[in-house]
Amino acid sequence: MENIAQLKSLLSIPKDIVITSHRNPDGDAIGSSLAMYHYLNEFGHTVRVIFPSEYPDFVAWMSDAEKITIYDIEPERSEELVQKADIIFCLDYNSLDRIDKLGEVIATLKDTQIVMIDHHLFPDIQADFQISEPSASSTCELIYDFIAMMGDRDKINVTIAECIFTGILTDTGSFKYSTSPKLFKIVSHLLELGVDDYKLNDLIFNSLEEKHLRLLGHCLKNRMEIIPEYKTGIIWLNRNDYEQFDIQRGDTEGIVNYLLKLKDIKIAAFITEQPTIVKLSLRSKGNISVQEIAQKHFKGGGHKNASGGSSYSTLKGTINKLKQILPQYKEMISA
């Protein structure tokens, strides 16, 4: 962030601040948002966090998560808070369409300062202040960097550290993806500040209900297809599956990663039939860019090895489309 001194001056006086993150918030979205929330609160700002939709239960333990405003539940209040804000932070997303109608409201603002901190490719937000670093493991890693840039590393208490650790832990798949020496130095500092990594791992990953394991078993036994010639695995769920297993927000988190546990699989796709759309979650190993596949064919994007997209075709039509485009990437898959 080249104009960090200007932002530091702006934040030297208490402001009305709104922090936003993307629909279907994950660990990095809520971790970065609450880390920034607790940090800014230390300076006397009036801070609100707004998400387009509800967050999953596995992060409900986080400090002050219950204070987050959900647009789907309180649209009028959400719009009112955004319209009166002096500064809006856009965290873990780089296009206003990722926050749906909330983005339409932000796009109309004239004098509000916009701060974007994100690690996805191809930013598309006209921000006054911006940190965009696709090589970062997570937006939470960039929140740590931001606080350090502000000269406030000593302000990171155990509450902020837990939020940052949560986003790093979940977005790296428990330190399997996008790691670096710098990241482990950050994590080391978080542990020194008092983060109990065993406790957080237990809270995040060991809070399943019985239906979650039964759903996983159903996916692996009845909804998994392997395409060996393209080293690709697909798991799909239809509307009946959602009803049968009472699938709620966050219940399918991580299922796509089971496909990558197979030795010869390099591309994993998790495809779900929603009420008005079919959604895809794509993962890959090595140099295979599922971001390119998502952007070019499914109006999506994300990271090189983790991306998402959507389709207005049927579930069967979307699965067939993915199969039909795989030959285009045969050389990349075989490398």
Nearest to 234 by CA among 167, 281, 295: 281
Q: Identify whether the C-beta of residue 294 lies closer than 8 Å to the C-beta of residue 309.
A: yes
For position 108, what pLDDT does the model report? 94
Q: Which two tokens stand for residue 121?
A: 């490719």
How do the domains of the chain map onto residue ranges?
4-205, 210-334
- What pLDDT, on a 0 to 100 scale, did the predictor assign at position 185? 98
Q: Are 178 and 138 in contact (CB under 8 A)?
A: yes
* Helix (H), strand (E) at residue 129: strand 129-132
Q: CATH number for 4-205: choose from 3.40.309.10, 3.90.1640.10, 3.40.50.1820, 3.90.226.10.
A: 3.90.1640.10
CATH topology of domain 210-334: Diaminopimelate Epimerase; Chain A, domain 1 (3.10.310)
Strands 278-284 and 301-302, how do they pair? Answer: unpaired
What confidence score (pLDDT) does residue 334 get?
A: 87
pLDDT score recorded for residue 250? 83
Q: Mind listing the pLDDT tens digit of every residue in the chain (335 residues)?
A: 789 999 999 999 999 999 999 998 999 999 999 999 999 999 999 999 999 999 988 999 999 999 999 999 999 999 999 999 999 999 999 999 999 999 999 999 999 999 999 999 889 999 999 999 999 999 999 999 999 999 999 999 999 999 999 999 999 989 988 999 999 999 999 999 999 999 999 999 998 899 999 999 999 999 999 999 999 999 999 999 999 999 988 899 889 999 999 999 999 999 999 999 999 999 999 889 999 999 999 999 888 999 999 999 999 999 999 999 999 999 989 87
